[in-house]
Chain A
Amino acid sequence: MIPATMLTNALLVGAVLFCLGLVGILTRRNLIVMFLSAELMLQGVSVTLVAWSRYHGDWGGQVLVVFVLTVAACEAAVALVFVLQAFASTGRLDASAWQALREENLPRVIDHELPADDRVVPTWPHLSPAGVVPEGDDSRSLERDHV
Chain B
Amino acid sequence: MQSSAANLLVLVPLLPLLGAIGTVLLGRRLGPRAHLPAVAGIGAAAVVALLLLLGTAAQVGAGHGDPLRPAEPVEMITTLWQWATVGDARSGDLAGSLSAPVAPGAADSGGTFSIPIALRLDPLTATLLTIITGVGLLVAIYSIGYMHDDPGYPRFFALVAMFVFSMSMLVAASNFLLVYVFWEAVGACSYLLIGFWYTKPEAARAAKKAFLVNRVGDFGLAIATFLLWMTYGTLDFHDTHLADGTIVEGILGQIRLADEAGYVGGAVGTAICLLMLLAACGKSAQMPLHVWLPDAMEGPTPASALIHAATMVTAGIYLITRSAPLFVGCPGALTMVSIVGATTALVAALIATVQNDLKRVLAYSTISQLGYMFVALGTGTMLGFTAAIFHLVTHAFFKALLFLGAGSVMHAMGGVIDMRRFGGLRHVMPITAGTFLVGAFALAGVPPFAGFFSKDEILATLHAKAHPEAHGSDHAEAGSAGERPRDSSAQLGDAALRPFRPASMTTRSSRRGATGEHGSTAEKVGLDALDHPSTWRLLFWMSLLTAGLTAFYTFRAVFMTFTGPVRVPKEAGHHAHESPPAMTTPLLVLAVLSALAGLVLFVTNALSNFLAATPSLTAPAVARTAVPHVFHWDIAIQGTLAAAIGIAVAAIGHLGRRSDSPQLERYLGPLGTLFANKFYFDQIYAALIVKPLEALAMLTAFFDRAIVDGTVDAIGQVPLAWGSAIRRMQSGLVQRYALAGVVGVLAIVLALAWQLRP
Contacts and interface: CB of A to CB of B under 8 A. Distances in A.
Q: Answer whether A and B touch in the complex at a CB cut-off of 8 Å.
A: yes
Interface of A: 22, 25-27, 29, 95-96, 98-103, 106, 108-109
B727 interface: yes
Interface string B727-754: 1101111110011001000000000000
Interface residues of B, number: 11
Contact of B731 (A25, A95, A99): A99
Contacts of A101: 730, 732, 734
A99 B733 contact: yes
Contact of B733 (A22, A25, A96, A103): A96
Contact of A106 (B731, B738, B739): B731
B733 A106 contact: no
A30 B295 CA distance: 83
B734 A98 contact: yes
Interface in B485-505: none
A99 B742 contact: no
B735 A103 contact: no
B675 to A, nearest CB: 70
Contacts of B733: 95-96, 99, 102, 109
Contacts, number: 40
Given A26-B735, A27-B735, A106 B742 contact: no
A25 B417 CA distance: 90
Given A26-B739, A26-B742, A103 B730 contact: yes
B735 A106 contact: no
A108 B735 CA distance: 15
B728 A106 contact: yes
Nearest to B734: A95
B732 A102 contact: yes
Contacts of A98: 732, 734
A101 B733 CA distance: 8
A99 B734 CA distance: 8
B738 A26 contact: yes
A136 to B, nearest CB: 53
Given A22-B742, A26-B739, A106 B730 contact: yes
B731 A102 contact: yes
The 10 closest A-B pairs by CB, nearest first: A102-B732, A99-B732, A103-B730, A101-B732, A103-B727, A26-B739, A102-B731, A102-B730, A109-B731, A96-B733
Given A98-B734, A100-B732, A103-B727, 9 more contacts: A26-B738, A27-B735, A95-B734, A102-B730, A102-B732, A103-B730, A103-B732, A106-B730, A109-B732
Contacts of B738: 25-26
Interface string B7-18: 000000000000
Contacts of B734: 95, 98, 101
A99 B732 CA distance: 4
Nearest to B730: A103
18 contacts: A26-B735, A26-B739, A95-B734, A96-B733, A96-B735, A98-B732, A99-B732, A100-B732, A101-B730, A101-B732, A102-B730, A102-B732, A102-B733, A103-B730, A106-B731, A108-B732, A109-B731, A109-B733
Interface string B712-727: 0000000000000001
